[in-house]
Amino acid sequence: MRRLFSNKIFIVILITLLVVVIIIMSTIPGNPIRTITAPVSFVIDPIQKGVKSVGEGITGFFSAVTEGMDIRKENEELKAEIAQLEYQVAQGEEAIRRWEELKDAFHIKDTFENYRIIGAPVLTREADEWFSVIRIDLGQNDGFLLFQDQSCAVVDARMNLIGRIMTSEPESSKVLPLLHEGFSVSAKVNTVNGAVVRVSGETTLKQDGLCKVTRIPVTIDLKVGDELVTSGQGGLFPAGIPIGVIISVDYSSELNRTAILQPYANLNDIKDVFVMVPEENSDTTADTEAVSVVSPR
């Protein structure tokens, strides 16, 4: 037996089997495997936040230096003062932009009055083309508790759909982005009694930042320029969240009528997202009972 465990091939096969069991179990709802990542969250998230803030600090420092050098070329005597002022102006512009976005978000909140909107910065982005789920800085320790098989819509500051919450851990939560192959949502054309279709992520379109529209009724012709919003069917997303605009249609097959959608939200530029949590006393969906916010940020 001891000899067997000193065999490298045997060890690799054994570990492989163990990992395969973990993979299979992780696909089963309610499995205990997911608790493995809870301690990881406690240790890794604070470190990752630290690395991110240090990195952003260094980037900011070099930006400031670069600006200062440019100004020095124009006016050597006023270099330091101009550099400082330029930096402050940039900071001020950023603050104004953020304030405008937040103002828009609060206005929209009135439209979705049965939902509480919680802001959270984006922590991590994709690791590669297949590991492309993102993490946000909103976790169970912030009072955001998400039970198995439940989810919440995630939107940007202009209330455009970004994705949905997949899991919540103690320090952060995973968001499945709109462009991800695993994402799909029931949508409708943003008109009175607009046709209901399906919007989903597609491998062949992901890199171009586009989504695929399927299940287009034979009786309806989507047109380029049509705006799609969430339909509210299925109960996960409230109706009326803007998704994007149709940029091309393909009716070559009557059985498989498709279209391409350009989402409004640009995931590459997003720094902060907003999670739409159903209010506990609303009668929107069954999600209401499952998702709760104890103490919002």
Partner 1 sequence: MKKKEIIRKFVVYGVYIIFLSALQVSFSDSFSINGQVADLMLVFVILTGYLFGLKDAIVVGLITGLLRDYYAGPAFEGGTDQPVALLGLGMLLMLYAGVISSVLFTKAFHRKLPLGFVQVMIVTVSYKVVGHVLFVIMLAISGRGSEYLSLFEIVTDSLIPQMIVNLLATAPILLMLRYMGPYKNGINKRLLLGSGETENLWRTN
Residues that bind partner 1 (CB under 8 A): 8, 11-12, 15-16, 19-20, 22-23, 26-27, 29, 33-34, 36-37, 40-41, 44, 47-48, 51-52, 55, 123-135, 149, 151, 166-167, 174, 176, 180-184, 200, 202-204, 207, 234, 236, 268
CB closer to partner 1, 229 vs 267: 267
Q: Are residues 136 and 188 in contact, defined by beta-carbon separation less than 8 angstroms?
A: no
C-alpha dihedral, 175 to 179 to 182 to 185, nearest 10°? 90
Longest dimension (CA), the chain: 79
Nearest approach, Cβ of 130 to partner 1 (angstroms)? 5
Nearest approach, Cβ of 26 to partner 1 (angstroms)? 4
Nearest approach, Cβ of 235 to partner 1 (angstroms)? 10
Nearest approach, Cβ of 34 to partner 1 (angstroms)? 7
CB closer to partner 1, 127 vs 294: 127
Q: Please state, in angstroms and as integers, the Cα–Cα distance from residue 139 to each residue in 54, 116, 152, 169, 220, following that order.
A: 22, 16, 13, 5, 42
The answer for residues whose C-beta is within 8 angstroms of residue 233's C-beta and 6 or more apart is: 186, 196
Count CB-CB contacts under 10 A for residue 230.
Answer: 23
CB closer to partner 1, 40 vs 85: 40
Q: Are residues 288 and 278 in contact, defined by beta-carbon separation less than 8 angstroms?
A: yes
CB closer to partner 1, 83 vs 261: 261
CB closer to partner 1, 57 vs 92: 57
- Look at residue 218 and give its three-state secondary structure: coil
C-alpha radius of gyration, the chain, whole number: 23
Q: Are residues 273 and 156 in contact, defined by beta-carbon separation less than 8 angstroms?
A: yes
**Run of H or E including 37:** helix 37-74
Nearest approach, Cβ of 154 to partner 1 (angstroms)? 14
Nearest approach, Cβ of 106 to partner 1 (angstroms)? 28
**DSSP-assigned states of every residue in 218-271:** TT----TT-EEEE--TTSSS-TT-EEEEEEEEE-S-SSS-EEEEEES--GGG--
Nearest approach, Cβ of 131 to partner 1 (angstroms)? 4
CB closer to partner 1, 113 vs 129: 129
CB closer to partner 1, 133 vs 229: 133
Q: Encoding tokens for residue 163?
A: 């994705």
Nearest approach, Cβ of 49 to partner 1 (angstroms)? 9
**Among the listed residues 115, 118, 138, the one whose alpha carbon sits nearest the alpha carbon of residue 232:** 115
Q: Encoding tokens for residue 131?
A: 């590991």
CB closer to partner 1, 134 vs 195: 134
Per-position b or e across 3-15, b if 16+ CB within 10 A of its CB? eeeeeeeeeeeee
